[in-house]
Chain A
Amino acid sequence: MEKASEEFLRCVRPQWKGMYHVARRYVVSEEDARDLVQETLLHAWRSFSPTEERTYSRAWLFVIMRSAVMDWQRTAKRRIKLVLAPDSELTELAPADLTEPLSPLPSMDEERFREFLDDRIVAALELLDSPFHEVLILSVAGDLNYREIADVLDCPIGTVMSRMARARRALRENLAVYARQEGWMKEVQS
């Protein structure tokens, strides 16, 4: 039987980069992100038991990380960039029409479009409301699928799908606002 520590490392190592990138989005400084990851690993190790009949999924690590962020938020020990609302405080999000056309973006070739996005996409992301911001970072930075995100946020998978769609639409709208403000919208993509 393998040692518990080797089993633990095998569970955690593949998620390492995702954990770091997500931590980097939760807190302000890189130093705090390293502390957050460290705290997550310690909590995870303390609760890890390969003899128990359970699966240590990726979501497990992010549940622990999220719990640490909420602790830090409550005690104001670190500067939190993405302020999380406790689940009990999240009211039902207003229904949005997900069938409406997406906000138009300026017409340009692919390379120029990528340059446009490079300069503005993080700012556009940070303007999103916290529930939308979070599903995006768990998906894009943490590489979690919708089922895993639902486990982390302790909500139905339908809620994740809805929030993800609304997050991407809002991101698109924010990018369109930048494009309009900066005079890019000479031709609008249909």
Chain B
Amino acid sequence: MTCSETREYIFAFLDNEVDAPLSIELQRHLDGCAGCAQEVEIERTVRKQLARAIGSAAEDVPGFDEFSNDVFTSEAATAQIGGRSFRDRRFYLGRILAAAAAVVFLVGAGAWFVLKDHFGSSTLRGFADLVVADFEHFLEEGKVVQIESADREAVGDWLRRQTALAVALPAPVDLRCKLIGGRKCKIDGRPAAFAVYDMNGAPVSLVAIAGEHVRLEGMTEVRYDGATLWVDHCRGHTVVAYRRGSLLYAVVSQLSEEEISCLTTGAAPESD
């Protein structure tokens, strides 16, 4: 291995990111080349000093418990993400409540289930209206997707990485329904995964948000093929919602419930 070739891998070598055979070759070169060995030592020192300056230095790192407790209290959990600052007075009241909640949490094994039931559930009013508004916005924008692919796994992977939601795209049983792509968006301030399909020329969207404890108001609960669905109609659009795991999904289109039923297979108990 030459000095020139060594320089190409010097940083990956220092970061332990080269495979074993290449690592052995590089080390062999360094053992016999004082110049390259010196460069490696310089870069090792540079990285160490950089870590001291911005990373592993322990000063001024706030305590983890201070933040983790706030996550589990209603004050922090219901504060609008991206909206109200945590520096307002309710945040400080929330910290006092968090300290009290932390004591209960540590003492009682069942305390969390009580708090979760009391603080974890929420009501999403006008859910149908929200997802229809997002769909209309998507159509007005010119149907811009961030990942364009008919591959369900590729789009699903991309959505999971981008939104940190455990999205499972259904496999439509109707061959007329084709996946176009996906994008990340927000529904009522919550991160959402959005996939769009083409059903014989008509666009159909599938939106997923975190919503294990979300109650839907104003939607009609129906049983269909062994699954529970919630249905509503809004501004000429059909909305069919269902739960899968911790997520709430909604299929939105101007087509009828029957025509978009191929995309609600995710609600079935034995889907996928």
Contacts and interface: CB of A to CB of B under 8 A. Distances in A.
Interface of A: 3, 5, 9, 12-13, 16-18, 20-21, 24-25, 30-31, 34-35, 37-39, 41-49, 51-52, 54, 60, 63-64, 67-68, 71-72, 75, 77, 88, 98-102, 105, 110, 113-114, 117-118, 121-122, 125, 136-137, 139-143, 145-146, 151, 154, 161, 164-165, 168, 171-172, 175, 189-190
B53 interface: yes
Interface in B106-136: 112-113, 116
Interface string B168-185: 000000000000000010
A98 B62 CA distance: 39
A140 B50 contact: yes
Given A13-B64, A190-B35, A117 B49 contact: yes
A9 B71 CA distance: 10
B49 A121 contact: yes
B85 interface: yes
A157 B10 CA distance: 16
A168 B43 contact: yes
Given A41-B67, A47-B166, A49-B212, 18 more contacts: A3-B112, A31-B87, A34-B86, A35-B85, A38-B70, A39-B81, A45-B71, A46-B210, A49-B246, A54-B166, A67-B184, A101-B7, A102-B39, A117-B49, A125-B53, A137-B54, A140-B55, A145-B15
A48 B164 CA distance: 9
Contacts of A44: 164
5 contacts: A43-B164, A47-B163, A99-B4, A143-B55, A165-B10
B186 to A, nearest CB: 8
Contacts of A110: 45
B43 A117 contact: no
B81 A118 contact: no
Nearest to B144: A88
A133 to B, nearest CB: 11
B140 interface: no
Contacts of A39: 81-82
Interface string B55-79: 1101011101001101110001101
A48 B120 CA distance: 13
Contacts of A46: 190, 210
Contacts of B17: 145-146, 161
Contact of B54 (A37, A64, A141): A141
Contacts of B8: 98-99, 165
A125 B190 CA distance: 34
A47 B245 contact: no
Given A51-B245, A139-B15, A67 B191 contact: yes
B50 A136 contact: yes
B191 A165 contact: no
B222 interface: no
A122 B54 contact: yes
B77 A42 contact: yes
A175 B53 CA distance: 15
B11 interface: yes
B24 interface: no
Contacts of B12: 146, 161, 164-165
B191 A49 contact: no
Interface string B203-215: 0000000101000
A48 B77 CA distance: 13
